[in-house]
Amino acid sequence: MLNGKRILLIVAGGIAAVKVPDLIRRLRERGASVRCILTKGGAQFVTPLTLAALSGQKIYQDLFSLTDESEMGHIQLSRDADILLVAPATADIMAKMTAGIADDIATTALLATDKPVMICPSMNVMMWTHPATQANLETLKARSVEIVGPGAGDLACGEVGDGRLAEVKDIIAALNRFFQRQRGDGALARMRVLVTSGPTHEPIDPVRYISNRSSGKQGHAIAAALANLGAQVTLIAGPTAEPDPDGVAVVRVETAAQMLKASREALPCDIAVCAAAVADWHVADASKTKLKKSTTPPRINLAPNPDILATLAQPGPQRPLLVIGFAAETGDVIEKAKVKRAAKNCDWIIANDVSPGSGTFGGDDNTVHVITAQNVESWPTLKKREVAEKLAGLIATHAAKFL
């Protein structure tokens, strides 16, 4: 979607500006052209030379440069782009955008443009949560400014909370979705999709639980990839440290029972991708108080959890048109997955090896086999993001048959 797009990137002040070179590199890899406006604050963290080298374009800094005005003009600069992207967007520049202040080349370009604007906020958590910033945010949303992030985590100031600049991949995903909406022809634009992701936690007592090593990386990447193709995605996420994919409706759950309930509530949908590693059992008589340590280990009675994949794949009026499951195996991966696909009545099974040493659980890479009723397609080892994008493309090709 970014191939041939012209992006005017406005780099405001803030330590997050150090991520901008990577953003420019990734945008250009996808065929976009990038022009940069660098504010005085932004120049404290990244140099004009760096941005010029990576973008292959002149960097604009001075509103009153006669050369710039004769060659381009700040108004024309703001209107030659397909979108204006502010990254990082500080509290200061958000306030100026809201008030219509134009006291430098960046704010003047933002006020003079007739093109869409997308901002990626980044600031201290207290600045982000301040009522003034939140009021400015609501005003910008009302003016149809696209907002990406911020994320939560450790901040450069040493505090923890909301305020981190969105990851480069998430900014690119948001740009992709924007241009897909603008064109109105995303491959999955008319599709409602349900994705489950991450592990489940089945309580033993209020502080202990049964779970597995799933990180949720693959399921979250699949949700993001499907959203990038225009799908309306609901992600049912078990406990995971993975950030919410941008543009995806996220429902957080803890247990298998909660995941099943949330999945049923997300119906009807066109496609279901059950990527979650759901615990097979729960504790039948979980203690309501913490079990005390003693010389005799407690006896734990296990009961089977509901089978979410089999439930969604049951024949009936609410069965999705395409139901995809995952099979995490530690030996005879393909054969075991074939049996699982037939037993669960799902259309496809994505099989992968999670043996010790494979690095699949918690890692960034995955080696999968796509198993259908007709054949087995084995893919080379790929980044989980690449697996997600390839799977999303395969889903889109299949979905075209029943659009």
For residue 350, list its beta bridge partners: 326, 370
| Dist CA 76 CA 93 (whole Å) | 21
27: tokens are 């945008």
Instruction: Considering only residues 15 and 359, tell me which one the structure prediction assigns the higher pLDDT.
Output: 15
Q: What is the mean pLDDT of residues 10-29?
A: 91
Confirm if 6 and 81 have CB atoms less than 8 A apart: yes
6-181 CATH: 3.40.50.1950
Stretch among 92-96, 99-103, 277-281, 293-297 having the lowest mean pLDDT:
293-297
Helix (H, G, I), strand (E, B) or coil at 139: helix
Classify residue 250 by its DSSP letter: E
Confidence bin at 125 (pLDDT 50/70/90): confident
186-399 CATH: 3.40.50.10300
pLDDT in tens, 251-279: 999 999 999 999 999 999 999 999 999 99
| Dist CA 339 CA 349 (whole Å) | 10
pLDDT in tens, 211-244: 988 999 999 999 989 988 888 899 999 999 898 8
Q: What is the mean pLDDT of residues 40-53?
A: 92
Catalytic residue annotation: 157
Assess whether pLDDT exceeds 70 at residue 161: no
Confirm if 254 and 239 have CB atoms less than 8 A apart: yes
Phi, psi of 303 (to 5 degrees): -130, 150
| Dist CA 178 CA 146 (whole Å) | 8
pLDDT for position 166: 86
| Dist CA 35 CA 51 (whole Å) | 9
Query: CA separation (Å) from 231 to 118, 364, 381?
Result: 20, 24, 26
For residue 302, list its beta bridge partners: 283
Side-chain-side CA neighbours of 60 within 13 Å: the count stands at 28
Confidence bin at 295 (pLDDT 50/70/90): confident
Q: What is the mean pLDDT of residues 177-197?
A: 80
| Dist CA 250 CA 252 (whole Å) | 6
| Dist CA 92 CA 391 (whole Å) | 41
Which residues does 317 contact at the CB level (< 8 Å), separation at least 6?
none
Strands (E), 168-229: 192-197, 202-203, 209-210
Across the chain, mean pLDDT equals: 88
18: tokens are 């150090």
| Dist CA 146 CA 119 (whole Å) | 6
What is the location of CATH 3.40.50.1950 in the chain? 6-181
What is the location of CATH 3.40.50.10300 in the chain? 186-399
